[in-house]
Amino acid sequence: MFNLLVIGGGPAGHAAAEHAGKAGLSTYLIEKGLLGGVCLNEGCIPSKTLLHCVKLFSAAKSSAAFGVTAAGVSFDLTTVMARKQKTVETLRNGIAFTLSKSKVETCAGCARILGGTEGGFRVEAAGEVREAQRLLVCTGSEAMKLSVPGAQQDFVMTNREILSVDSIPSKIVVVGGGAIGLEFASFFAEAGSRVTVIEILPSIGGPLDKDIAAALKRELEKKGITFCLQSKVSAIGDHLVTFESDGKSSEIPADIVLISVGRKPVVAGFGLETLGVHLEKGAIKTDERGRTNVSGVWAAGDVNGVSMLAHTAFREAKACVHDMLGTADSVNYRAIPSVIYTHPEAASVGLTKDDAAALGLRPVEARLPLTYNGRYLAETDGERGTIRVVADAESGKVLGVHMLGGNCSEIIWGAAAVIERGLTVDDLSKVVFPHPTLSEIIGDAAAQLR
């Protein structure tokens, strides 16, 4: 009888297992695929490796403005893919080592919940049955499919298949203008493809601040990406994508079509129904501590459908284990940052001004171009970044920070910490930012609200 059995070895699963093992809980982890889940093997890490490589390529070609002239610059996809694979395998081995060091037993196989027992749960995997006092479900998510004629053809791919292409396509159509679609659009455009993004909504970036989204669209258009907004794909023919917009039908040729229309939680195929766990909108319903309606069963990561991001999964995993150990903890979802790793990057945390107003708050907003910042101006040429800081007019609490430009992913955590701690713009004015850094722009923008 284990203290904890974890189903799924993605960000939530392996983080929870490690934390539980270090805390002294006898822990058993079952993973049907590769440790690290989608994020490590098919998403976050491999895509960011590709994006960094193409960023270097783009910088080398456009470095004349900085007094550097590079000749004969080329992009070797074979080397890039090899680097991607090496990075993934190194990190995967690191996870396996850490789990072993934390005394977590692992099993490679498909889990099947057999039901509850007196004081616990029974789960089968790889021909063996294990029992545990507690169960943590971290089965993650899977790419949603596009239900149109022709979507099953070999050149129509998801984020999984496109990470293994052996050549840069001349023409690629990306269906979906969310984070994943935009990142791959950015990669292929800078690698030399002619890229078209078809998005059903009137703006890109999903929940991204609309002004930030519009500015990001303009920057990506500079790289040659074409956007077809408020457009819906109706069919995929022989390397031809048909879509509808404003009541008119149009066609675009494509060597590759990338389907990136969202992800959905994996809640079927492993016996969850035997426990009577409550689902809501196709996801496991949890509270702020990760608890389900069934005593002794928790869920974390994409499977709860709340915030489908790897770093959210890490945080939820710790909250779940803390709850199992009797330590008060909960996840503040308003302090979860999100990033789109295009060039330039977009990063945000907290509420937009419109979101805050919809909640009945009295938001005020400060806006600054990033060219106000010395470090940004010194290191970019022609890029037009921006920042929005949203605060509550009455309390002065910082409600949200939204940025476009440079490597803003590396500083958005500071804004997340401000929101997590409930700091005000006056509190922020006492923080000393190193000079010259891009991070200073957060303090400069907030100062306009004092």
Omega of the bond leading into 436 within 30 degrees of 0 (cis): yes
Rg (CA), the chain: 23
User: Of all residues in the chain, what percent carry a pLDDT higher than 90?
Assistant: 98
What pLDDT does 339 receive? 98
What pLDDT does 219 receive? 97
Q: Beta 248-253 vs 240-245: how paired, if at all? A: antiparallel
What pLDDT does 133 receive? 97
Write phi, then psi, for 437 (nearest 5 degrees). -140, 160
* Widest CA span in the chain: 72
Q: How many CB atoms lie within 10 A of CB 229?
A: 15
Q: What is the pTM of this model?
A: 0.95
Choice among 13-17, 62-66, 415-419 with the minimum mean pLDDT: 62-66
Mean pLDDT on 249-271: 97
Give CA separation, 159 vs 20, 30, 137, 142, 332, in Å.
Answer: 31, 24, 24, 10, 29
CA 448, CA 316: separation in Å to the nearest integer?
35
Q: Which of 38, 41, 11, 61 is nearest to 343 (CA)?
A: 61
CB distance 349 to 336 below 8 Å: yes
Give CA separation, 212 vs 166, 207, 339, 366, in Å.
Answer: 34, 10, 12, 13
CA 313, CA 179: separation in Å to the nearest integer?
17
Mean pLDDT on 158-184: 96
Mean pLDDT on 238-248: 96
CA 317, CA 333: separation in Å to the nearest integer?
14
Omega of the bond leading into 344 within 30 degrees of 0 (cis): yes
Q: How many CB atoms lie within 10 A of CB 78?
A: 9
Q: Model confidence at 450, in pLDDT bands (50, 70, 90)?
A: confident
Domains of the chain plus CATH, in order, are 2-143+264-333 (3.50.50.60), 156-261 (3.50.50.60), 344-447 (3.30.390.30)
What pLDDT does 196 receive? 98
Q: What average pLDDT does the chain have?
A: 96
* SS3 (DSSP) at 242: strand
What pLDDT does 95 receive? 98
CA 50, CA 396: separation in Å to the nearest integer?
41
CB distance 360 to 354 below 8 Å: no
* SS3 (DSSP) at 237: coil
User: Of all residues in the chain, what percent carry a pLDDT higher than 70?
Assistant: 100
CA 47, CA 180: separation in Å to the nearest integer?
9
Q: Which residues are catalytic?
A: 435
The pair of three-digit structure tokens given for residue 393, joined into one six-digit string: 């007019």
What pLDDT does 118 receive? 87
CA 315, CA 320: separation in Å to the nearest integer?
9
Identity of residue 40: L
Q: Model confidence at 77, in pLDDT bands (50, 70, 90)?
A: very high
Mean pLDDT on 105-126: 95
Give CA separation, 183 vs 161, 274, 295, 335, in Å.
Answer: 15, 39, 40, 23
Interval 21-54: pLDDT, tens: 999 999 999 999 999 999 999 999 999 999 999 9
